């Protein structure tokens, strides 16, 4: 009864295809940002630099914030508060970067990344390619973190800012976003999960009210 009363939502695009499109868009404007900002930072175009350094300059910060907004909207379809919080964390990180607070930016990035990794843990572990993908991202994260600590202690500012090792960060960031693809069902379509949930609750409330009215007995019997 409840299912017949729910508004039918049109199926336009699978969530997986939408996420792939978003991922390709992310990679495209990231590469453009690196090419543009590295010229000023390193004196030559397309010398790898810290990705967050490239994305916290205008207009690339605007592109990144827009991507985060679309990711937040898409995460509602998963009905996962963890993923929604993670992408809101990424959004907040690039938003606070406008106020020159690198420590807050870094903390939000790390926290959001850990939330994505938690939500995309392979289940079951028998799915080999998913496990390989997830473990690879964990390994790259540890390698990159170790190199950042080493660079802080041993490199000059110029050597730290411009290094081909940052390619590891690019693969890490893009690969982490790609992990979300594993938790998307092949036949899952883009829907407004909040609207659907609201419709379910409203329909359920009406149905319960009707059931209560039906079960009421008259006070006076003739």
- pLDDT tens sequence across 35-91: 888 888 888 877 899 888 888 888 888 999 999 988 888 787 777 789 989 999 989
Confidence of residue 160 (pLDDT cuts 50, 70, 90): confident
Q: Which one has a higher pLDDT value, 24 or 211?
A: 24
Whole-prediction pTM: 0.77
pLDDT bracket for residue 169 (50, 70, 90): very high
For residues 219 and 149, which has the higher predicted lDDT (pLDDT)? 149
pLDDT one-digit tens code per residue, 99-149? 766 667 788 889 999 999 999 999 876 678 999 999 999 999 999 999 999
Q: What is the pLDDT of residue 23?
A: 94
> Is residue 34 scored above 50 in pLDDT?
yes
Does the pLDDT at position 172 exceed 60?
Answer: yes
What confidence score (pLDDT) does residue 214 get?
Answer: 52
Measured N-to-C along each axis, helices 128-154 and 166-178 cross at an angle, to the nearest 10 degrees, of 150
Task: Please state the domain extents for the chain.
Answer: 14-196
Q: How confident is the model at residue 190 (pLDDT cuts 50, 70, 90)?
A: low
Here the tokens at position 143 are 């390698």
**Rounded Cα–Cα distance for residues 218 and 198 (Å):** 33
pLDDT at 158 (0 to 100): 85
Of 4-13, 36-45, 171-180, which one has max mean pLDDT?
Answer: 171-180
The confidence score (pLDDT) of residue 138 equals: 96
Tokens 């985060």 belong to: 68
Number of helices and strands in the chain (H, E):
10, 0
Per-residue pLDDT tens digits for 88-111: 998 988 888 777 666 677 888 899
CA distances in angstroms from 147 to 125, 162, 205, listed in the order given = 29, 13, 56
Report d(CA 12, CA 101) in Å as an integer. 41
Does 2 score more than 60 pLDDT? no
């Amino acid at each position: 009864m409840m299912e017949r009363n729910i508004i039918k939502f049109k199926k336009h695009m699978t969530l997986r295809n939408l996420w792939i499109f978003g991922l390709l868009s992310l990679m495209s404007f990231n590469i453009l940002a690196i090419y543009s900002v590295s010229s000023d930072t390193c004196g030559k175009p397309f010398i790898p630099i810290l990705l967050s350094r490239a994305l916290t300059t205008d207009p690339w910060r605007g592109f990144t914030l827009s991507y985060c907004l679309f990711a937040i909207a898409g995460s509602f379809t998963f009905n996962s508060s963890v993923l929604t919080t993670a992408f809101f964390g990424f959004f907040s990180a690039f938003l606070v970067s406008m106020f020159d607070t690198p420590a807050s930016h870094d903390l939000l990035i790390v926290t959001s990344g850990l939330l994505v990794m938690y939500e995309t843990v392979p289940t079951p572990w028998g799915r080999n390619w998913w496990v390989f993908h997830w473990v690879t991202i964990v390994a790259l994260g540890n390698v990159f973190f170790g190199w950042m600590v080493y660079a802080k202690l041993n490199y000059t500012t110029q050597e730290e800012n411009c290094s081909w090792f940052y390619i590891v960060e690019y693969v890490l960031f893009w690969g982490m976003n790609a992990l979300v693809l594993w938790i998307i069902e092949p036949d899952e379509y883009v829907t407004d999960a909040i609207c659907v949930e609201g419709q379910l609750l409203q329909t359920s409330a009406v149905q319960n009210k009707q059931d209560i009215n039906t079960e009421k007995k008259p006070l006076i019997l003739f």
